[in-house]
Structure 1
Amino acid sequence: MKPTWSALLGVALLAVVALVVGLLVAGPKTVVAGPAAAGPSTATVAEPAAELAATTDERPDIVLILMDDFSLELLRTMPAAAEMAAEGATYQNAFVIDSLCCPSRAALLTGQTPHHTKVLTNTQNDPEHPVGGWSAFQRYGNVEKQFSIGLQEAGYTTGFVGKFINAYEASVDADGNRVPPPKVPGWDSWNALLGGAYGGWGYQSTFLDDDGEMRLRHHPQPPTSATPAAKDAAYAANVTRDYALDFIEDHRDDEEPYFLEIAAYGPHSRLGHHYPGLDTWFPPAFADQAPAGDPAGGNCGRFDCGELTLADLAGYDDDRQDNAPTYLHRGGRTSPAPAWRTNKVSLSAETALSQYRDRARMVQSIDRMVAQVREAAGDDAYIVLTSDNGFHLGQHQLNGGKGAPYDSDTRVPLVVVGPGVVPGKRSQFVNNIDLAPTFLDIAGAPIPAYVSGSSFTDTLSRPGVPGARYAFFEHTYAKAHPGEVDLDKGSGGTIDIIPSYIAVRGSQGLLVRFDLDKSWRGTDYAYELYRYDRPWEDRNVFAEDHAKPYARDLMRRLEAYEGCAPAVCRALTR
């Protein structure tokens, strides 16, 4: 059986006490600070623990739970997540580098910015020169740069469960047989749920057979006549949970530590229609659904569903007349630029409220998984809860979707529990490209020079330690192509009207440089600047504030960020 982190520290500290006072002392044992075997940037424990590591791998297990399109207001509805936040570190300034699924996931897996991964959109667009999806992730060397490979080389057993990269799908051979997608290096266990899982029911998943070969497993949709329990057993969130718990059970007693990524499909909107009467674009498990004719019923976790209102969505229906971008000319002169938020506001308040509540119901199955995973993994494992991006649902009059540089889309939950983690809120800025170096740091593995993010391991045990003060965002416009799953038409999606941009976010404000020219080669730069004396991006103040010190600081950083090398990217956040 693999010794637990706390047990090993207890043995080491007892030995120290015995040497000093000449007798055994029983009682609670404490970590000096931080995860002990996490590399040079972390604090250490007493010397005998280091000696013990020569014969026993004392490094902690790590579990990443990654949600899909999770907006921050949903976190308070989740009982297990709320308990996790009370017992662990909660990062109030956690962001994603691109608020779109595939670029965000590629960045998380590699620790690189999209301008380094070259994964810029969800779909490949041009097969010869892909700009997104699995094709781009594979073509540009990102498979070999996954942090999981570094963890494997450091002795970790690695497992993956759930949603991987957009367009990572099975194919059909010449005989009409379904063929699994390619095997992905860096993972000892591989249970990817393929794209059919967006709908919740009726999909395929992958597994590795005894010879390490890729195989497909079918998860048929239960018939309409099946019981709610039978339907929920086949629900994608619950199958993801079952795979995850199986992995933990198989490896929690190993001598070697493990890393497990659990990538849920919820609360992403569905594709396809599955059961009569289940018409929502955000279908919860049957156990959580509202009864017919009761829109305020069902399970919304810590709240009655009727208590959730549109007032919870900061900036909902905010008039966009004062949000148009601004041109900057020589000498500091400014002039109005054309508005890019020109979509028809098609999302009604009734629909937005219904979908908000359905999304709250949808995450309850994930929340139950959080509780079960924590129990199975134990207190000596690090558990990290976050999302690939946020989601706007009527904020900024953008209907529903993601991809924008605003808080609704870029800010995500980040909660960490584990050995040596001091409970409480953190004010340091963290980006999802910081997760890869943090995992490697905890494992005591080297962080490659190509990584653009920085480890935040020190902040786990020292809440007040200086950290990043800025976060950067980048996004590439691409007209939607077949296979694009993020149009979110059910909520009036607007993903393909959002221009390309780069942006920088500090404590005082957000500066965005949009490229209003939608061609690949041309540029038409215009700016939006928002002060955070309001809890959302209320009014573009670029014209009156662009020469003020805080705005000039943001502009200097923004200009230096464009195309930055990894070391420069890291330095700009400080």
Structure 2
Amino acid sequence: MTARLAPPMLLCLLLPTAAAAQGPGLGLPKLGDATPRNVVFILSDDHRFDAMGFMGHPFLETPNMDRLAAGGVHLANAFVTTSLCSPSRASILTGLYAHNHRVVDNNNPVPPGTVFFPQYLQAAGYETAFVGKWHMGGGSDDPRPGFDRWVSFRGQGSYLPGPDGLNVDGVRVPQRGYITDELTDYAVDWLEGRSGDTPFFLYLSHKGVHAEFEPAGRHKGAYDDAEFTPPDTMDPEFEGFRDRPMWVQNQRNSWHGVEFPYHSTLDVSEFYEDYCETLLGVDESIGRVLDTLDAMGVLDETVVIYMGDNGFGFGEHGLIDKRVAYEWSMRVPMLMHCPDLFSPGTRVEQVVANIDVAPTILQAAGLAAPDHFDGRSALGLAAGEDVEWRDSLLYEYYWERNFPHTPTIFALRTDQYKFVRPHGLWDLDELYDLRADPAETTNLVFSPEHQEVLRTLKGRLFDTLEGTGGMTVPIYADRGGSQNLRNADGSPAAEFPEPLLRRVPPDRERP
């Protein structure tokens, strides 16, 4: 298997010419005489792949996501290569696996010298704007390279106005209202304030729907009467389970487990209702952006991409949150819209990932992607072309000291099978037949009929890691506190406190 393939091109875009985008060291070859398109990329947080109305959700209504899908393309098998905020966002911005961009947790900053794809767009003459959650190296919200307009906040930010406020082009300003609405205001104002024919790129990066979920006031209670159906795998006695790893069973009673979620008495059904209510604000934001582009007269020619930065669990396998290599964690929504390029109602079945966003947007801008990218452009797939595509995808997650219940994980996913290797544990590997067992309940590592599949995927996993420079585990100094270890005041402890204290809610004894 070839580790990196040349990015596919639309039929109308021929081989790269010698002409290159202008800029100091950032010029990229242009793709023939292609017209650079406007691009809007909207990213949400913790949005799982099936939480959209058109996916047949029992109660959630997302008319604007439905609008994107009906008028454009639904990439039904979109994934992230690391299901965690900062690594996934760094993969989007660099086109690289986490082991190459080295942003492997939510605490450490981006390595110096990292190039983000909007810098290539700037060098090619684009006007660029970043509005929203940056998160990588969360102690700072200073403007980053590649953006003419910058609106952001420190770390996770706050749904409601707080003391930190926002950083607008390097100036600290108060947050005035609900964060999803306010970020959309900034994005729309920037779009409407543009003049002339200069192509533009907007990156709207929402805090929503990150936990703890906080709906806009107008949406609170919208789903109070909705009925949450717990997943079968939330039940520890579910008869479909076969050969679960011990670390997964143990995690049920952890910060990310349904027995003791976030070390609290949180009710998973109410948690999910809050999640859906919070998502309504993100859906409305999409609608406002689309309406703005329409009023500007550029909607049909603009490539609009919507995506989640990782999935999220609500009881599946007895877990909540993300990080793991199960489908509900690593699979995300992804929609593309551009009537000039894409037929309405298109559905793409091939596996597309966050590492593909950068080359896809560069191709929409008429630029050839750099050779060092791990991802490749999905523009041809969305346009309905017959494109040679990957037949497997690498997943990686690196153990975090402040969330120690999830081990380092490597996985290889094909169209039918998934092989999962927990690194550094005396525990079981996992093998699932996704066609026969989409809920990933029956681990086939001991199945005699699947031993050849197991050997093949294990070999391909390590071949892919080796072929992409991923045969070392990144290790960094401790940053951030531990969710398992608490100081006397209840705050996270960066190191083992003396004496060791564990926070347990007073109304609940530890099971």
CA shift at 1:101, angstroms? 0.6
Q: Which amino acid aligns with 1:373?
A: V
- Cα drift, residue 420 of structure 1: 1.1
How do residues 383-394 of structure 1 correspond to structure 2 at under 5 angstroms? Answer: 383-394=304-315
Contact 1:200 1:237 in 2 (8 A): no
Task: Look up the match of 2:83.
Answer: 99
Does the 8 A contact of 1:389 with 1:410 survive in 2? yes
List per-residue Cα deviations over 1:324-370 (Å, max 9, x = no partner): 34xxxxxxxxxxxx544303223599811111111111011111110
- Tell me the equivalent position of 1:309: 228
CA contact (8 A) 1:205 1:217 kept: yes
* Paired residues of 1:150 and 1:446 also in contact (CA < 8 A): no
- Distance in 2 between residues matched to 1:545 and 1:374, nearest whole Å: 53
Contact 2:159 2:180 in 1 (8 A): no
Task: Report the Cα offset of residue 546 of structure 1.
Answer: 7.6
Quick one: which of 562, 565, 568 aligns to 2:465?
562
Q: What TM-score results when the alignment is normalised by the length of structure 1? A: 0.69
Provide the residue aligned with 1:216 in structure 2.
Answer: 172
8 A Cα contact 1:426 1:463, kept in partner: no
- State the SS of the aligned residue for 2:96: coil
**Residue 79 of structure 2 aligns to which amino acid in structure 1?**
F
Q: Which residue of 1 aligns with 2:214?
A: 283
Q: Which residue of 1 aligns with 2:273?
A: 357
Q: How does 1:150-299 map to 2 (within 5 A)?
A: 150-170=120-140, 181-195=141-155, 197-202=157-162, 203-208=164-169, 214-219=170-175, 234-251=177-194, 253-270=195-212, 282-290=213-221, 298=222
Contact preservation (8 Å) 1:318, 1:538: no
Q: Which runs of 5+ in 1 are unaligned?
A: 1-38, 47-52, 124-131, 171-180, 209-213, 221-233, 271-281, 291-297, 326-337, 481-494, 518-523, 569-574
Match of 1:470 in 2: 392
Greater fraction of residues in helix: 1
Contact conserved, 2:45 with 2:208, CA < 8 A, in 1?
yes
RMSD, aligned CA: 2.8
Q: Distance in 2 between matches of 1:346 and 1:444?
A: 50
Q: Which residue of 2 aligns with 1:415?
A: 335
1:525–1:235: structure 2 CA closer, same or farther, 3 Å change rule?
same
Contact 2:410/2:421 (<8 A) preserved = yes
- 2:111 corresponds, among 112, 124, 138, to 138
Partner of 1:459 in structure 2?
Answer: 381
Distance in structure 2 (CA, Å) of the matches to 1:350 and 1:122: 24
Q: CA deviation at 1:155?
A: 1.7
Mapped partners of 1:254, 1:528: distance in 2: 55
Deviation at 1:193, TM superposition (A): 2.7
Map Cα deviations across residues 383-419 of structure 1 (whole Å, 9 max, x no partner): 1111110111111012x21100001100000110012
Q: Structure 1: how far apart are the matches of 2:156 and 2:89?
A: 18
State the distance in 2 between where 1:318 and 1:425 align: 36
How big is the shift at 1:90? 0.6
TM-score, L = length of structure 2: 0.77
Q: Distance in 2 between matches of 1:370 and 1:199?
A: 18
What is the aligned partner in structure 2 of residue 67 from structure 1? 44
Q: Which residue of 1 aligns with 2:444?
A: 541
Deviation of 1:79 after TM superposition, in Å, equals 1.1
Alpha carbons of structure 1 residues 360 and 463: separation in structure 2 relative to 1, 3 Å: farther
SS of corresponding position for 1:254: coil
Question: Structure 1 residues 206 and 387 mapped into 2: Cα distance closer, same or farther (>3 Å)?
Answer: same
* Alpha-carbon separation, structure 2, partners of 1:459 and 1:527: 33
Q: Is the 8 A contact 2:156 2:207 kept in 1?
A: no
SS at match of 1:169: coil
Unaligned runs of 5+ in 2: 1-6, 15-29, 54-59, 254-258, 294-298, 472-511
**Structure 2 counterpart of 1:119, from 103, 106, 117:** 103
Counterpart amino acid of residue 90 in structure 2: A
**Structure 2 CA distance for aligned equivalents of residues 250 and 509 of structure 1:** 49
1:366 aligns with 2:366: no
Q: Secondary structure at the match of 2:310?
A: coil
Alpha-carbon distance in 1 for matches of 2:260, 2:282: 30
The answer to whether the aligner puts 1:147 opposite 2:117 as a matched pair is yes
AA partner of residue 11 (structure 2): A
1:235 shift after superposition: 0.3
Question: Which of 61, 64, 68 is residue 84 of structure 1 equivalent to?
Answer: 68
Q: Which residue identity lines up with residue 187 of structure 2 in the other structure?
A: A
CA distance change for structure 1 residues 339 and 58 in 2, over 3 Å: closer, same or farther?
A: closer
Q: Give the aligned residue type for 1:206.
A: N
Amino acid at match of 1:317: D
SS at match of 1:158: strand
- Alpha-carbon distance in 2 for matches of 1:159, 1:548: 50
List per-residue Cα deviations over 1:78-103 (Å, max 9, x = no partner): 11101211111111110001001111
Secondary structure at the counterpart of residue 77 of structure 2? strand
Corresponding residue SS for 2:180:
helix
Quick check: 1:114–1:120 contact (8 Å CA) kept in 2?
Answer: yes
Listed as ranges, the matches of 1:371-386 within 5 Å are 371-377=287-293, 378-386=299-307
Q: Which amino acid aligns with 1:284?
A: P
Alignment partner of 1:322 is 2:225: no
Alignment match of 1:496 (pick from 393, 399, 404) = 404
Is the Cα–Cα contact under 8 Å of residues 134 and 155 in structure 2 kept in the other structure?
Answer: no
Cα distance change on mapping 1:167 and 1:566 into 2, 3 Å: closer
C-alpha distance 349-83 of structure 1, shift in aligned 2 (>3 A)? farther
Instruction: Give the letter aligned to residue 401 of structure 1.
Output: D
1:197 Cα deviation after fit: 2.5
SS of the residue corresponding to residue 108 of structure 1 reads helix
| CA deviation vs aligned residue, 1:195-253 (integer Å, no higher than 9, x gap) | 36234332421222xxxxx2111226xxxxxxxxxxxxx000011110110111123x4
Equivalent pair of 2:80/2:88 in contact (CA under 8 Å): yes
Percent of aligned positions with the same letter in both sequences? 26
- Pair 1:380–1:248, CA change in 2 (3 A): same
1:437-490 C-alpha deviation (Å, 9 max, x unpaired): 11111111231122111111111211654422322100000210xxxxxxxxxx
Aligned length: 423
Give 3-state SS (helix, strand or coil) of 2:441's partner: coil
The whole-number CA distance in structure 2 between the counterparts of 1:366 and 1:318 is 34
Q: 2:10 aligns with which of 39, 42, 66?
A: 42
How much has 1:314 moved relative to structure 2? 7.0
Are positions 1:508 and 2:416 aligned together? yes
The CA distance in 2 between the partners of 1:314 and 1:154, in whole Å, is: 51
Partner of 2:18: none
Post-superposition shift, 1:566? Answer: 7.1
SS of equivalent residue, structure 2 residue 147: coil
Shift of 1:429: 0.6
After TM superposition, the structure 1 stretch with the greater mean CA deviation from structure 2, 313-322 or 505-514, is 313-322
CA distance in 2, matches of 1:552, 1:62: 43
Given that 1:80 and 1:370 are in contact with CA atoms closer than 8 Å, whether structure 2 keeps it comes out as yes
